Structure 1
Amino acid sequence: MSKIAQTISAILIILFTFCTNMQAGNRRSETVYAFAYGTCFNDSIIYLSTVEKLDSANIDPKTKFLTDRKFYANNFKQFLDNQYKGIHTCAIFFNKSKEKLEKTYIKLRRNTNKDKHSTLVEIPLSTFSLSKIQ
């Protein structure tokens, strides 16, 4: 490899490392409240986890989304798949304000209870807790 190619490679590696570190530096670690929602399309059961505090959650400043939400959703999905029959689809609801998130939780619970074709199962914190799967 020529000296010019080595120099260009070194510069590209440095730029890549710098950009990666800058991108990781944009994430802010904050306290966020979250709960999980899950359902299986083969039955009419809706599963809700308890609202809980997630310390050191990363929020993307541009999108305002929880960056690790897919890991939390996968955690709830694996729990439901192991505990109950079927393949479940899961989502995470989150907010920086516990009060706003609890309003969303109550609204989901109320709407599910109104629906005569759905059954609500609330998963207590002692049974399931949100944690990232790496």
Structure 2
Amino acid sequence: MRVQQKAQQQGFTLIELMIVVAIVAILAGIGMPAYQNYTDRAKFTEVVAATAPIKTGIELCAQIEGITEFKLTAAGCGELGEKGIPSAPAASVELKSIALSLSSKDIVITASNNDTTAVTYTLTGTVSQGRVTWISGGGCDSLGYC
């Protein structure tokens, strides 16, 4: 005597697979732009970090020299590689350049990245009561990189 058995269905149906593909596509559409911004911000940290030794050197120079305000003359702490302020680091994968400039009462560190968009990071230092106060800015603010 033969017993017939009904074949059991195995696997997924086409509609189930299409639903899974649609869910993955939606998640990828949301996740990829957020991930791209995250990687751009991570790359830009090299530019921000490269300004730290120069910033520290300017603060130490201002303390040691007793500077009460930065002036347009180079007599203060306005030169890279002078009076304890390190020279500008060499260009790297992410860092294009760092420059130091003086305005009427401020000192400005400007760093730019090596990307085609040329995003800048600026630190503006002002001496007040014997200490340097820094304000960051530049094109990286609008992009959320710094």
- Band of TM-score, shorter chain: 0.3 to 0.5
In terms of fraction of residues, the more strand-rich structure is: 1
User: Greater relative contact order (Cα 8 A, min sep 6): structure 1 or 2?
Assistant: 1
Using the size of structure 2 for normalisation, the TM-score is 0.33
Structure with bigger gyration radius: 2
